Structure 1
Amino acid sequence: MNKLLEGKQTHVEYAPVGRAKHMGIKIVDNETQEVIQELPPTKIVEMIDKLCELAGIMVDQRV
C-alpha cells in the first residue's frame, strides 16, 4: 500500500487493534504525523470490545 502512496504526502501504518487484535490501518500525514483516517475507527473497536465484555459478564453470571 505504501508503494502506491510513494510520492504522496501520506503513508500507511498497520497495527493490531482491540482485544481481538484485528489488523488496523492508519493513513498518516508525512509532515505532521497527524492521523487522517483510521480503519476501523477507534470508537467502533472500543464499542465492540465493550459489547464483548458485557456479553462475557452476562454469560459468567448465568453459570
Structure 2
Amino acid sequence: MTLSDDITRFYISGLPKTKRGYDCIMVVVDHGLTKGVIFIPTNKELTALEAAELQTSHFPKRLQT
C-alpha cells in the first residue's frame, strides 16, 4: 500500500466566481496518515496536470511538523 492509496480527491463546482477567478474547490482527503482534509480553491477549467500539481504542492505542507 502506498500513500496515494489512502487519498481521494473530489471537486465542489458550480460556485460563484470569486474576485481571484475561483469557481471550484478541490477537496483532497487523506484517509490514512494525517486523516486530514485540504480545500484548494481553483476553477472548473483545471486540467489533470494542473490538478496533480496543485495537489502535490499543497499536500506535503500538511505533512510538515
Task: State TM-score, norm by structure 2.
Answer: 0.38
Task: State TM-score, norm by structure 1.
Answer: 0.39
Q: Highest relative contact order (Cα 8 Å, sep 6+), 1 or 2?
A: 2
Structure whose residues are more often strand by fraction: 1
